[in-house]
Amino acid sequence: MSKPVTGRLQAATVATGETHRRWLLQRHPEGTPVLDDFIYVEDLVPQPPPGKMLVRALWLSLDPFQRLTWNATPRNVELTPLYGPLAGDIVGEVIVSNHPDFEVGDVVNELLGWQSHAISDGRGHYIHCPEGARKVDPTLGPISTACHVLGRTGLTVYFSIVRELRPRPGETMLISTAAGAVGSLAVQVAKILDCHVVGLTSTDEKCRWVTEVLGADAAINYKNVDNLAEAIRAAAPKGVHMFYDNVGGPIAEAAGQNLTDDARITRVGIASQYSTVRADGTPWVYPVDQPMFYVHDYYTEHAEGLAAIAEWLQQGRLKYYEDIIEGLDNAMSGWLDMMAGGNRGKRLVRVAEPTQV
């Protein structure tokens, strides 16, 4: 017979009239998602049971990979069942704690979903967040950065380049979606490591930003060239030694025509395929013969990566750019616009202003 839980539970202290706001999956999208695939609801703020805490979301990260969690496949149902909250990385403040390791006022980063409040036991998700909830160190940068450059986005760039591509000075790195959250950091890290960098993006304005602000040696508007493979060849006459792939599809095929004999590829994302429906009517899945980079393969070394990134930031060698959507109710329209190329840098949703920090 189990022992009863003892000890005083802390009562929730939420503002008068505050509600629990969430984006839920109303139906599995077929192809490109539309707003009607989701539903935005408001209800009562939940109360944390023993061993758990209540987190108020302050920032929500919008990421292309979230599209895959909405498909009707066994793996993805683990994250987003129908009428469950959408999976999403947040930075939030602990406002009620019945957890031994977290106190009211702690700022935490965890995969807690597209919602204004979340109950957490701190253990994370065994696939997408095996390290669990981590306390955010506000001395390293604004707390929003824990959703990107000082979080999974920055760690993705660090390990995918330093460990997977292993750049040598003078080599050429080709980076797709070079103006996006991951791509914009990858351009800068590649330059820190003395690479020749060619970025691919979708507008002339973004091309100028990638070269003049981020420091790439060349940038190509892939929507404005007749032959992308030839354009890459002109920008990388010695060939592509490293391809940093964020999109897959025709862009990856054009890059493949320019690889050197000793080229290395890191497939960080295949965003162009995420809404693809296969011939049999089922959603696209990662091809088993094209393994993807997965940042959580390095979760035991995340502290090392964050230390390196923090040092580059303090030295002024690495910059980040936040593209902010105001309000959780606007999160889905912001995500759809991002997937259509509407963002520059990291797209975040400001869910709430902090009360404890």
Q: pLDDT of 284-314, one tens digit each?
A: 565 555 667 788 889 899 999 999 999 999 9
**CATH 3.90.180.10 residue spans of the chain:** 20-147+321-350
pLDDT band at 9 (very low <50, low <70, confident <90, very high): very low
pTM: 0.89
Long-range pairs, 102-105, Cβ under 8 A, ≥24? 102/53, 102/133, 102/135, 104/10, 104/356, 105/356, 105/357
Residue 110: what pLDDT?
96
How does DSSP assign 241-302, residue by residue? EEEEESS-HHHHHHHHTTEEEEEEEEE---GGGTT-B-TTSPBP---TTSPPP-GGGGGGGH
Q: What contacts 109, CB < 8 A, 6 or more positions away?
A: 89, 90, 91, 133, 134, 136, 146, 147, 151
Q: What is the DSSP letter of 134?
A: E
Q: What is the DSSP letter of 272?
A: G
Q: What region, left, alpha or beta, does residue 105 occupy, with left being phi > 0 and alpha being psi -120 to 50 degrees?
A: left
Decide: helix, strand or coil at residue 91.
strand
Q: What is the DSSP letter of 21?
A: E
- The average pLDDT across 115-123 equals 96
Helices (H), the chain: 74-77, 152-159, 181-192, 204-212, 228-235, 249-256, 302-315, 331-339
Q: Are 66 and 87 in contact (CB under 8 A)?
A: yes
Domain covering 20-147+321-350 in this structure, CATH number: 3.90.180.10
Please write the tens of the pLDDT for every residue from 205-233. Answer: 999 999 999 999 999 999 999 999 999 99
Nearest partner of 161 among 87, 226, 241, judged by Cα: 241
Please write the tens of the pLDDT for every residue from 31-56. Answer: 899 999 999 999 999 999 999 999 99
Helices (H), 134-192: 152-159, 181-192
- Residue 11 pLDDT greater than 90, yes or no: no
Could you tell me whether strands 53-61 and 117-120 are parallel, antiparallel, or unpaired per DSSP bridges? antiparallel
pLDDT band at 117 (very low <50, low <70, confident <90, very high): very high
Residue 173: what pLDDT?
98
- The average pLDDT across 337-349 equals 94
Beta bridge pairs of residue 42: 21
For the 152-315 domain, the top CATH level (class) is alpha beta
**CATH 3.40.50.720 residue spans of the chain:** 152-315
End-to-end CA distance of the chain: 42
Residue 183: what pLDDT?
96
Q: What is the DSSP letter of 85?
A: B
Please write the tens of the pLDDT for every residue from 240-284. Answer: 999 999 988 899 999 999 999 999 999 998 776 666 666 676 665
How does DSSP assign 299-330, residue by residue? GGGHHHHHHHHHHHHHHTS----EEEEESGGG
Q: Could you identify the residue written with the tokens 């693809």? A: 276
Decide: helix, strand or coil at residue 65.
helix
Residue 251: what pLDDT?
93
Of the two residues 128 and 84, the one the predictor is more confident about is 84
- The average pLDDT across 154-182 equals 97
- State the average pLDDT for the chain: 89
Q: What contacts 60, CB < 8 A, 6 or more positions away?
A: 88, 89, 90, 114, 147, 328, 331, 348, 349, 351
Residue 114 has phi, psi (to 5 degrees) of: -80, 75
The Cβ of residue 311 has, within 10 Å, a number of other Cβ atoms equal to 11
Beta strands in 115-154 (DSSP E): 117-120, 134-135
Q: What is the DSSP letter of 225?
A: -
